[in-house]
Structure 1
Amino acid sequence: MDFLNSIFNLINDLTWGWALVPFLVVLGVFFTIASGFVQFRYFGRMFRVLKGYDDADPTKISAREALLVSVGGRVGGGNIAGVAVAITAGGPGAVFWMWAIALVGMCSALVEATLAQVYKRTTPEGDYRGGPARAIIHGLGENYRWLAVLYSVCLIASFAIGFNAFQGNTVAGAAVDSLGIPRFATGAFLAVATGFIVYGGIHRIAKAADFIIPIMAFGYIGLALVIILMNFTSLPGVLYDIVSNAFGFQEAVAGGMGAAIANGLRRGLFSNEAGLGSAPNVAATAYVRHPVSQGITQSFSVFIDTMLICSCTAFVILLGDVYQPGAEGVDGVALTQQSIVDHVGVWGQYFLTGAIFLFAFSSIMYNYYLGENALSFMTDSKGAMHVLRLVIVGIVFLGAVAPGATAVFSFSDPMMGILAIVNLLALLMMFPIAMRLITDFRKQLNSGIARPVFDPKAFPDLDTDVSAWPDALKK
């Protein structure tokens, strides 16, 4: 076990410790500039997905449902505990750098979702499957199958197994601390609920997300807005602290500006997952007219995660009296919880427990689908899929009932590091294809077409599935 731990620690150091964060930042900036700041150019179009379209096919996963599933996956412990950790270790300035990496990451999310869409495949059931593994095969060729398989294995290991154990552990811990509910009871409930969802497939996941995510997001944002209004006169001072600490004008923690940048970028990337290669698996399931349409939608998902949800947590903490810059003491989810209680009273801790449950359960659904999609790329065996579902239900239960069980899953971060590097390399090689699609989308809009349509015949050199684009056949 010690040998394995040393291997995983080395992988973690070589990815997250040295290369990955700068790689994500540099590529995100490059994509933003090369695309003509596409995430800002089409920012107004992002909100259209919320109301949906009257001509949407009810038998398909809609762009809105895919958005909510991906928001459910991105929004999790990182938005509650991760933001608190970033502020504790990097000071208020870390929040500014979380915002900065989100604005850049919106473009990375747009590019990876666009590529996942253009190379998606129609299943025998009439649904769609896609994601980085299939994009690698159809966009780069069979010679890169080994890279796609490596990606798929890392996706299952990190998200489907490791992170689902963490989610179960987080919910059970919060339930014990605030409500006194035994871990076994929480674990049993989570396992049953997880089993019900995963055996319903992507459609049941989408329907559950369509119900859970709006409640989760609007409830948490609503409470944060109440707290902000209660402390409105202190808001300018908090904003000043965020900016001044971000640029080293005011040192809140040891390390100053460097600590703010490092913690803000790292926690921001962990939270919104832009460029990590996870969300494109969900983005590919949506029925849309043009790949870039879903790219814009996934860009919006990053905005919701960081600019809205993470900002809510940051303001709740920074507007309260619990957090003391540079002081040792409360950290992580406890800091967020105590800050809410400081603002609104004891009932706030029960509200946060409910929020943590919804955040965690939505992430479990999302993480399961990532594993399912990765496994379906490697094998068509229904037996293998059945085993994966049972393993994930068991992992959620194990993570919940055993306080120290998550130590077994210390390989999750290194696996996600490899996953992200594979995805970023593939994005870099296929970026010219993404630019052709963005240019096509832009030309159609400029010619007066309100809702551009992707026509595979206009891109004969791309290995696309014509049946996945029925709107082109209607032209």
Structure 2
Amino acid sequence: MQLLQSFFGLIGDLTWGWALIPFLVVIGIFFTTVTGFVQFQYFGRMFRVLSSKYQTGDPNAISAREALLLSVGGRVGGGNIAGVAVAISLGGPGAIFWMWAIALVGMATSLIECSLAQLFKRSAGDGTYRGGPARSIIHGLGADYRWLAILYCVCLIASFALGFNAFQGNTVAGAVEESLGVGRLWTGLLLTIVTGLIVFGGIHRIAKASDVIVPVMAVGYLGMALIVIALNITEIPHLVYTIVTDAFGLNEAVGGGMGAALSQGLRRGLFSNEAGLGSAPNVAATADVRHPISQGITQSFSVFIDTILICTCTAFIILLGDVYQPGAEGVDGVVLTQQSLAFHLGDWTSYFLTGAILLFAFSSIIYNYYLGESALTFMTGNPVVLLGLRVIVMALVFLGATAPNATAVFFFSDPMMGILAVVNLLALMMLFPTAKRLLNDFRAQLKAGVDRPVLNPDQFPDLDLDRTAWTGKVR
């Protein structure tokens, strides 16, 4: 076991600890620049997905909004509550500025990776679609790269479907026990049963559940944060000034100054919004849309919601209170957020935050499961294997909730996610010319007066596209 831990520790050091974060940043800046700042150019179009006017008319299909909410449910998790608090504790207020910066460039990365997942998606025959980096690799780069797609799938299943789901079960049970005094066993049983009811319903039930859970959790948390901001509205300009000056080392709040702020902001931002990690494209590919770039724009909006809105809410709740003391040790993580919220609005908010954590974690569980299902169906179509994955995920959620120390077994999760990101970024760079062609096609149609561009597969005869997914007709 010690040998395995050392091995995966080395992988983690070679990815997250050394090259991966700068690589993600450089890729994001490259995509932003070469595409002409596409995430800002089409920022207004992102909000269209919230309107029923722009949804598919096929009742069997997954709409763009459902795919958006499922991805938001996955991106938004404990990192938005605990992770932001850790970033501030270790990097100071300036970490928030760099979290904003990586989200803005990450929006372009997400647009590219999700557009490619849409382009190379495959019809499941029941009105739904499957896609993601594995299918983009095999259909975009060719059969010679199947080994790379398999490596991606193995890493995705190991990190998200298995490891992270055990951690999510642990997070929920711990929060409920701490604030409500409910035993881990009961929380674990309830969480496992509800998880089973949803994952055994397939992508339709997963999407429908996210369509309900995510708006409730996001709007509720944003609403609470807006109350805190309204109560401290006169302090906002000074707070923003503090965040910016601390980010550039002009007003160092913690040891390490600008370096600590930069490191923590980039790390927590990337972990939170997942742009470039290759996870969200699996969900983006499920949507029934007219043009791949449309879903890319929608998924870019998901990054904005996760970091610019929800992470910022957590940061303001903490920084507008008196619980956080720059450079001081002690209160950290979710406790810092919890105590800061209580400082503003009273002790009853600990129950509200527990509910928010429960919803955030549960939405992440069903999202993580679907990522594993998407990867598994790429490797095998055996329904017995898929059934096994569902049972294993339920067992791990229960194990993580009832035996918190057992999560130590999943020490490989972060290193495997590091390999996952490296594979995804390599594939993105090789497929970027194709993504650029897609973007040019989308822009040309808009310039010609087409309000809602449609992909015509005849315009891309050299690509291995699923003609049943892209008919070239307006739906």
What's the TM-score, normalizing by structure 2?
0.99
Q: C-alpha separation between the residues in 2 aligned to 1:66 and 1:124?
A: 18
Superposed, 1:61-100 pairs within 5 Å as 61-100=62-101
The alignment partner of 1:404 has SS state of helix
Superposed, 1:229-248 pairs within 5 Å as 229-248=230-249
* Alignment deviations for residues 8-35 of structure 1 (CA, whole Å, 9 cap, x no partner): 1000000000110000000000000000
Q: Which residue of 1 aligns with 2:466?
A: 465
* Alignment deviations for residues 172-204 of structure 1 (CA, whole Å, 9 cap, x no partner): 000010000000000000000000010000000
Superposed, 1:359-398 pairs within 5 Å as 359-398=360-399
Q: Which residue of 2 aligns with 1:39?
A: 39
Shift of 1:231: 1.1
The code of the aligned residue for 2:390 comes to: R
Whether 2:201 is the aligned partner of 1:200: answer yes
Q: C-alpha separation between the residues in 2 aligned to 1:454 and 1:108?
A: 21
Q: C-alpha separation between the residues in 1 aligned to 2:128 and 2:241?
A: 49
Q: C-alpha separation between the residues in 2 aligned to 1:59 and 1:260?
A: 46
Q: Which residue of 1 aligns with 2:291?
A: 290
Q: Which residue of 2 aligns with 1:263?
A: 264
Superposed, 1:253-402 pairs within 5 Å as 253-402=254-403
Q: CA RMSD in A?
A: 0.9
Shift of 1:365: 0.6
Superposed, 1:108-123 pairs within 5 Å as 108-123=109-124
Superposed, 1:158-197 pairs within 5 Å as 158-197=159-198
Whether 2:108 is the aligned partner of 1:107: answer yes
* Unmatched runs of 5 consecutive residues or more in structure 1: none
Shift of 1:235: 1.4
Q: Which residue of 1 aligns with 2:12?
A: 12
The alignment partner of 1:466 has SS state of coil
The code of the aligned residue for 1:16 comes to: W
Q: Which residue of 2 aligns with 1:134?
A: 135
How many residues align structurally?
474
Superposed, 1:208-223 pairs within 5 Å as 208-223=209-224
The alignment partner of 2:251 has SS state of coil
Shift of 1:54: 5.9
Shift of 1:390: 0.3
Shift of 1:473: 3.6
Q: C-alpha separation between the residues in 1 aligned to 2:356 and 2:343?
A: 17
Q: Which residue of 2 aligns with 1:2?
A: 2
Q: C-alpha separation between the residues in 1 aligned to 2:213 and 2:162?
A: 22
Q: Which residue of 1 aligns with 2:251?
A: 250
Q: Which residue of 1 aligns with 2:29?
A: 29
Structure 1's 55 and 192: CA in aligned 2 closer, same or farther, altered over 3 A? closer
Shift of 1:405: 1.6
| Between 413-422 and 233-242, the greater mean CA deviation after superposition | 233-242
Q: C-alpha separation between the residues in 2 aligned to 1:279 and 1:54?
A: 20
* Alignment deviations for residues 93-147 of structure 1 (CA, whole Å, 9 cap, x no partner): 0000000000000000000000000000011323100000000000000000000
Shift of 1:238: 1.2
Q: C-alpha separation between the residues in 2 aligned to 1:54 and 1:254?
A: 50
Shift of 1:402: 1.0
Q: C-alpha separation between the residues in 1 aligned to 2:339 and 2:404?
A: 22
Q: C-alpha separation between the residues in 1 aligned to 2:293 and 2:249?
A: 38
Q: C-alpha separation between the residues in 2 aligned to 1:215 and 1:235?
A: 26
The code of the aligned residue for 2:332 comes to: D
* Alignment deviations for residues 417-459 of structure 1 (CA, whole Å, 9 cap, x no partner): 0000000000000000000000000000011000000000000
Q: Which residue of 1 aligns with 2:49?
A: 49
Q: C-alpha separation between the residues in 2 aligned to 1:54 and 1:429?
A: 32
Q: Which residue of 1 aligns with 2:416?
A: 415
Shift of 1:56: 2.5
Q: Is the 8 A contact 2:92 2:261 kept in 1?
A: yes
Structure 1's 8 and 54: CA in aligned 2 closer, same or farther, altered over 3 A? closer
Q: Which residue of 1 aligns with 2:446?
A: 445
Q: Is the 8 A contact 2:60 2:126 kept in 1?
A: no
Q: C-alpha separation between the residues in 2 aligned to 1:229 and 1:56?
A: 40
Structure 1's 47 and 474: CA in aligned 2 closer, same or farther, altered over 3 A? closer
Q: Which residue of 1 aligns with 2:125?
A: 124
Shift of 1:55: 5.3
Q: C-alpha separation between the residues in 1 aligned to 2:78 and 2:251?
A: 29
Q: C-alpha separation between the residues in 2 aligned to 1:92 and 1:473?
A: 50
Q: Is the 8 A contact 2:76 2:360 kept in 1?
A: yes
Q: C-alpha separation between the residues in 2 aligned to 1:70 and 1:119?
A: 19
Q: C-alpha separation between the residues in 2 aligned to 1:358 and 1:174?
A: 12
* Unmatched runs of 5 consecutive residues or more in structure 2: none
| Between 68-77 and 401-410, the greater mean CA deviation after superposition | 401-410
Structure 1's 101 and 54: CA in aligned 2 closer, same or farther, altered over 3 A? closer
Q: C-alpha separation between the residues in 1 aligned to 2:202 and 2:286?
A: 12
Shift of 1:233: 1.6
Q: C-alpha separation between the residues in 2 aligned to 1:394 and 1:191?
A: 7
Shift of 1:406: 1.4
What's the TM-score, normalizing by structure 1?
0.99
Q: Which residue of 1 aligns with 2:147?
A: 146
The code of the aligned residue for 1:22 comes to: P
Shift of 1:240: 1.2
The alignment partner of 2:463 has SS state of coil
Structure 1's 124 and 240: CA in aligned 2 closer, same or farther, altered over 3 A? same
Shift of 1:36: 0.5
* Alignment deviations for residues 216-270 of structure 1 (CA, whole Å, 9 cap, x no partner): 0000000000001111122122111100100110111110000000000000000
Q: C-alpha separation between the residues in 1 aligned to 2:127 and 2:337?
A: 44
Identity of aligned residues (%): 70
Q: C-alpha separation between the residues in 1 aligned to 2:79 and 2:242?
A: 22
Q: C-alpha separation between the residues in 2 aligned to 1:114 and 1:228?
A: 36
